[in-house]
Amino acid sequence: MALKLCFLLLVFVLTDYGINGEEVGLCSKIGVTININSVGDNNLVYIYMADMSLSSFDNFNTNISITDQIVWSSNSSLYYQNVSSYGCSSVDGDCNVVLYDGIFWMYYSLMMDGEPVVIELFPWDRIDQGTIYSLYDAFDPKQPPCKADVGGNGNFTASITYCCKKYTYFTIPDNDPNPCLDLTGISTIYYVGSDVVGGMIQTKYVTTLQGINFTATAYLLPENGTFDIAPDYVGGPSGDLTNPVSIFYGNGDYQVDMYLDVLYANTYPLAYGQWINKLIRRNGLFMKNQSHPFTPDDSCLSFIPPTNYYGSGSQISLCCTRFQQPTKSSLMAEQKLEKIVENAKAKFNKNNPVSMPQKKLSPLKKYKQPKQKN
């Protein structure tokens, strides 16, 4: 009888608090260890350890707190940290660094027997709203907590270990009665320091049985303009006014930051590294952020991201335009996006940006796809 009562009480508690979803864990604290060996004799000459705690700074940036830095050197007059790292004001004190969400790099600088050595940290990892995630499912709580990397130069090699020390968990709903199936986004790009429209890209994420079809279509571009889509800053396909680009993503959960390059006359960059939207899939649902899915009552996002590498501004709208069951919100979302397109086209035609003088800028840096692990 007592056992039955306990069971009924447990059912009541779970029902009362609505615990009916999948818990998704994302890493929010990383322990970093760097061991440096001299190549000639393979002796360990330097060890560095630190904790890095992540928290959301605002809608587009993550704060990283570097604490508990510990250093060991076999000879402190030969092997030492000579300058501050990570953008900190001191060599070894605690500090905070604010970085733009998406792919990021950090650098640890040393002097090794008179030779400057820079250790690159977190290559191809991503940060987002106070969490860090990685390729190959690293930092996933369902996987081992640590991953290894290497660095250094010809005379000194670095063995780097990253271990997640804390996970932040989000509960994603199960059995959504009316999930979002398709997303449509409009990204309006402006010339530097003005409200003159220089380009407009439509993005679509369409659910199929096999996965998600992503398509980017140029609605507006400068004369002879082209654009590149760069998922997570990895060089992707190119398109123009008559040629959209497509990328396929399989079923499953993932997170991808979409970036855009818009080129003026194939020479003058307008929107290098412009963030256009974020694709988040959790428990099979399209998410507005780390913990909230698109719903019929909350079907759109609108925001102004930070200016891009060359100072161009943008306005972004991303809406669910198809739910499993038809809704009025989908129609309203489509009408909202159509209005944005009409207004941008009117500004584009009025200002005729093709005739505006352009300053020639440095060539775009293209990133290569990182090598896949076996």
Distance CA 84, CA 63 (A): 18
Please check the confidence at residue 293 and state whether its pLDDT lies above 60: yes
Are 113 and 78 within 8 A, CB to CB?
yes
The values of phi and psi at residue 345, to 5°, are -65, -40
- Helix (H, G, I), strand (E, B), or coil: what is residue 159? strand
Q: Which of 32-46, 211-225, 231-245 has the lowest mean pLDDT?
A: 231-245
Average pLDDT over residues 168-179: 85
pLDDT band at 16 (very low <50, low <70, confident <90, very high): very low
Bridge partners of 79, per DSSP, are 112
Residue scoring higher pLDDT (235 or 301)? 301
Are 81 and 92 within 8 A, CB to CB?
yes
pLDDT band at 137 (very low <50, low <70, confident <90, very high): low
Which has the closest alpha carbon to 235: 244, 243, 225, 245? 245
* Alpha helices (H) along the chain: 2-16, 328-351
Give the model confidence (pLDDT) of 92-113 as tens digits.
788 999 988 888 889 999 999 9
Distance CA 151, CA 46 (A): 13
Average pLDDT over residues 203-220: 93
Residue 163: per-residue pLDDT: 95
Which has the closest alpha carbon to 295: 315, 269, 324, 275? 324
Distance CA 197, CA 226 (A): 15
Q: Is 285 exposed, middle or buried (0-12, 13-18, 19+ CB in 10 A)?
A: buried
pLDDT band at 324 (very low <50, low <70, confident <90, very high): very high
Residue scoring higher pLDDT (61 or 270)? 61
Distances (CA, A) of 255 to 3, 110, 127: 43, 34, 11
Residue scoring higher pLDDT (3 or 90)? 90
Bridge partners of 255, per DSSP, are 280
Which has the closest alpha carbon to 305: 281, 276, 284? 276
Distance CA 125, CA 134 (A): 5
Show the tokens assigned to 191: 């010339």
Please check the confidence at residue 320 and state whether its pLDDT lies above 80: yes
Residue scoring higher pLDDT (5 or 297)? 297
pLDDT band at 362 (very low <50, low <70, confident <90, very high): very low
Q: What is the gyration radius of the CA atoms in the chain, in angstroms?
A: 24
Average pLDDT of the chain, as a whole number? 81
Are 149 and 171 within 8 A, CB to CB?
no
Centroid of chain to Cα 355: 35
Please check the confidence at residue 367 and state whether its pLDDT lies above 60: no
Please check the confidence at residue 47 and state whether its pLDDT lies above 90: yes
Average pLDDT over residues 275-303: 88
Residue scoring higher pLDDT (192 or 314)? 314
Distance CA 276, CA 304 (A): 10
Give the model confidence (pLDDT) of 249-265 as tens digits.
888 888 888 888 777 65
Average pLDDT over residues 158-176: 89
CA angle centred on 160, ends 56 and 71, rounded to 5°:
85
Residue 224: per-residue pLDDT: 80
The values of phi and psi at residue 130, to 5°, are 85, 15
Show the tokens assigned to 13: 């508690």
Distance CA 52, CA 63 (A): 10
Residue 321: per-residue pLDDT: 94
Please check the confidence at residue 144 and state whether its pLDDT lies above 80: yes
CA angle centred on 243, ends 241 and 246, rounded to 5°:
125
Give the model confidence (pLDDT) of 68-86 as tens digits.
999 999 999 999 988 878 8
Please check the confidence at residue 3 and state whether its pLDDT lies above 50: no
Residue 352: per-residue pLDDT: 54
Which has the closest alpha carbon to 76: 88, 56, 92, 96? 92
Sole residue written with tokens 């250094």: 152
pLDDT band at 58 (very low <50, low <70, confident <90, very high): confident
Please check the confidence at residue 267 and state whether its pLDDT lies above 70: no
Distance CA 366, CA 362 (A): 12
Distance CA 276, CA 303 (A): 10
Bridge partners of 315, per DSSP, are 188
Please check the confidence at residue 13 and state whether its pLDDT lies above 70: no
Question: Percent of the chain beyond pLDDT 70?
Answer: 85
Show the tokens assigned to 46: 């330097």
Please check the confidence at residue 290 and state whether its pLDDT lies above 50: yes
